[in-house]
Amino acid sequence: MALLVSSHNRYYTIPSVPRLTDAFPRVPISNGFSKAFGGSNIQVINGSMATLALDKSSGSGLVSVNKYHYGFFSAAIKLPAGLTSGVVVAFYMSNADVFPHNHDEIDIELLGHDKRNDWVIQTNVYANGSVNTGREEKFYLWFDPTQQQHQYSIIWNNHHLVFLVDNIPVREFQHSGSFFPSKPMSVYATIWDASQWATHGGKYPVNYKYAPFRVSFAEMEMSGCISNPTGTVTSCSKNTPSSLDPIEGPEFVKLSNQQSSALGWARSKLMFYSYCKDTSRFKVMPPECK
């Protein structure tokens, strides 16, 4: 059933989609993650939820115990309320720790909010390390992400990348060429100071008068191909893929008609920036834009 929801003074009829987040087991944070940085600003509650804080001393972050080749990754996130200009909450995948000059990255970044506009989610893809070749797209959220937890998810397999918000696909990035993440990555959950760019291009930096800024992460899901550090993995696919296989299952190798319709809704109603239309940055459009 479609729902009518509002964001500031805008009202949206939300399309119906399959709830992929109901298909996979949740991973206890206490088992699946370790502290990456800012340990004193991290609190794990009952093993299943974590609050991360940003204050003048430090941001904070979690990193998955395992690295993954492909899979389905999701987190329920509640953003810090109030004036959060310059603050970035991120749920992302990266291998920069292993490949510092040639890394891959898949980003969901929830950008700081100055109370002037709708809340913004930025998605990005890097392959083989060049910071000049990020593929950013930005969307308005159709809800207030500080009121309750919402689910932010990534499908990553050999066919495509899909970014989802509350199970609604907002972006699909096809594997159609050399620019595609291909090396094992860790999963990260972080909050940090990105004053130089996060809110209106860096116009509004973090105001630590309102610190600490706290975000909650829960309902973590990481299902897919775990990288074996002692050997190479040639295939993580099942011999007889089921619909619950995020690597080769029929529900994951391409979007359903219902999901494709929802993707079109999100891109027409909510997207306000795409690198494919940024001619000042790309004199020659990347091949996937064509």
| Residue 273, number of CB atoms within 10 A of its CB | 13
Which residues is 45 bridged to in the sheet?
49
Which residues, in sequence order, are CB contacts of 63 under 8 Å at separation 6+? Answer: 33, 34, 35, 36, 186, 187, 188
**With contact defined as beta carbons under 8 Å apart, do 141 and 118 qualify?**
yes
**109 belongs to the catalytic site:** yes
Residue among 75, 263, 251, 279 at smallest CA distance from 173: 263
Give backbone dihedrals phi and psi of 81, rounded to 5 degrees, phi first. Answer: -85, 170
Which of 268, 289, 265 minimizes the C-alpha distance to 278? 289
Q: Specify whether the backbone of 257 is left (phi greater than 0), alpha (psi in -120 to 50) or beta.
A: alpha
Angle formed at CA 116 by CA 12 and CA 164, multiple of 5 degrees? 45
| Residue tagged active-site, from 105, 137, 172, 248 | 105
List the end-to-end C-alpha distance of the chain, in Å, as a whole number. 34
DSSP summary character for residue 15: P
Question: Does 248 participate in catalysis according to the annotation?
Answer: no
DSSP string, 35-93: EEE-GGGEEEETTTEEEEEE-SS--EEEEESS-EEEEEEEEEEEPPPS--TTEEEEEEE
Active-site annotation, residues:
105, 109
